[in-house]
Structure 1
Amino acid sequence: MPCDKIMLIRHSERPDPDKGTRGVSLDGRKDKESLSVRGWQRAGALVRFFAPVDDRFVRPALARPRILFACKAAAQDPSLRPQHTLVPLAELLKIEFNRDHFNGEEQALVQKVLASDGPALIAWKHDGMHAIANAILGDKTTAPQHWPYERYDLVWIFDRAGEHWAFSQIPQLLLDGDSAEPIV
């Protein structure tokens, strides 16, 4: 059965040397390519956001993912943040975790997601979010064409409606300072 729901999130918070925020690896070592402590907090909170006990979702548009996709790290772009954002959820759900596509390969990613047995959850980098949305929706007008650098707190939802896709935005509201405002 082809995928009929795709949920797209930006990876969790990154280090910010200007603010003295460092990245921390899975084993607790300083690592500029990993999430910040706040990023790991968000990654942990996303577990019950996408896999609530008794499937009681805070937002009815959400679904428990059956497959996860994250941006692959490359020598020229070694960030592990998209993958790390989904590690706690993948471990809890014990589900497939696809890391086959690099930033810039959004079209190929979407083809693989559409062929998967969804619902699917994708964690990506902010500069490629619109490309994923455009590939799913088939246009450049339905979804915002820019994901703000400072936003980590939204979920873009794509629901299959016959031959087309419906688009919506869901605020996570998981951590202090998260915004309920959509991206325009």
Structure 2
Amino acid sequence: MQGTSPAQPQSIMIIRHAEKPAGTIQGNNLYGAIDKHSLTPMGWQRAGALCVLFAAQGAPVRQGVVTPTAIFASGVEHDSTKSLRPEETVVPVAALLNGVAESSFLPGPPPSSLVVPLNGGYTLGNERDLVKAVLALTGNVLIAWQHQNIPAITQQIIQQAQVSNPDDIPSQWPDGRFDMVFVFTRSSAGYTFAQVPQLLLPGDSSKPFPA
């Protein structure tokens, strides 16, 4: 475990990608075509609603949730996962913050000259390097990832930085939940972890995940 340094972000926020296909509910890409690797219509609703949290003007909508200055989403790696959902989940936020069309991001890599960059260069299983890159930044960082590997991200934050309350961090992200933000906020004692409910769509829960 290492201590915080001036080069580390003030806030690291982690979300699961939005709703995915299940049963007869199909995924649709940005242009509406059926795509099993994309978000469902409800997932796209959540992706748009996340702008309320992360691109709000003025005071934060939820305590601890702030506007990101950099965004990361797990990229597509054809030999392991073809999921577009993490990137799709944050495209509306990135588009709004950068003043560009959502179609600027998908398909293909994000534009290189963005005020708030969207980095899709880290793939599932590459959480160690992801966290190393995140901790080299300043400002506020938003990460969108697959839920089964979010605990790997939190463990890397514990290992690579100082966290004052590591026992409060859940060891798993529940399979049926898409409605939470994990927030690491920096202070003089290091990072403090908190769970912040999104409360954006009908059915979203304020119940925290068990630690």
Task: Give the partner amino acid of 2:43.
Answer: G
Contact 1:134–1:143, Cα closer than 8 Å, also in 2: no
Task: Give the partner amino acid of 2:195.
Answer: Q
Match runs of 1:35-54 below 5 Å: 35-53=39-57
Task: Give the partner amino acid of 1:57.
Answer: P
Q: Percent identity?
A: 41
**For 2:10, which of 4, 25, 37 is the aligned residue?**
4
Partner of 2:74: 71
Contact 1:136–1:165, Cα closer than 8 Å, also in 2: no
Partner of 1:133: 154
Following the alignment from structure 2 to structure 1, what is the Cα–Cα distance between the partners of residues 168 and 65?
19
Structure 2: gaps spanning 5 or more residues:
1-6, 99-115
Structure 1 residue 163, shift from structure 2 partner:
5.6
**For 1:86, which of 76, 90, 95 is the aligned residue?**
90
Following the alignment from structure 1 to structure 2, what is the Cα–Cα distance between the partners of residues 172 and 142?
19
**For 2:174, which of 148, 151, 157 is the aligned residue?**
148
**TM-score normalized with structure 1 length:** 0.94
Structure 1 residue 136, shift from structure 2 partner:
1.1
Task: Give the partner amino acid of 2:25.
Answer: T
Structure 1 residue 56, shift from structure 2 partner:
2.4
Structure 1: gaps spanning 5 or more residues:
none
Task: Give the partner amino acid of 2:30.
Answer: L
SS at match of 1:121: strand
Matched residues, number? 181
SS at match of 1:156: strand
Match runs of 1:89-128 below 5 Å: 89-94=93-98, 95-128=116-149
Q: CA RMSD in A?
A: 1.3
Structure 1 residue 80, shift from structure 2 partner:
0.4
SS at match of 1:44: helix
SS at match of 1:167: strand
Following the alignment from structure 1 to structure 2, what is the Cα–Cα distance between the partners of residues 118 and 57?
15
Following the alignment from structure 2 to structure 1, what is the Cα–Cα distance between the partners of residues 83 and 198?
23
Task: Give the partner amino acid of 2:87.
Answer: Q
Task: Give the partner amino acid of 2:68.
Answer: P
Following the alignment from structure 2 to structure 1, what is the Cα–Cα distance between the partners of residues 119 and 138?
13
Contact 2:47–2:88, Cα closer than 8 Å, also in 1: yes
SS at match of 2:35: coil
Task: Give the partner amino acid of 1:45.
Answer: A
Structure 1 residue 116, shift from structure 2 partner:
1.5
Structure 1 residue 36, shift from structure 2 partner:
0.3
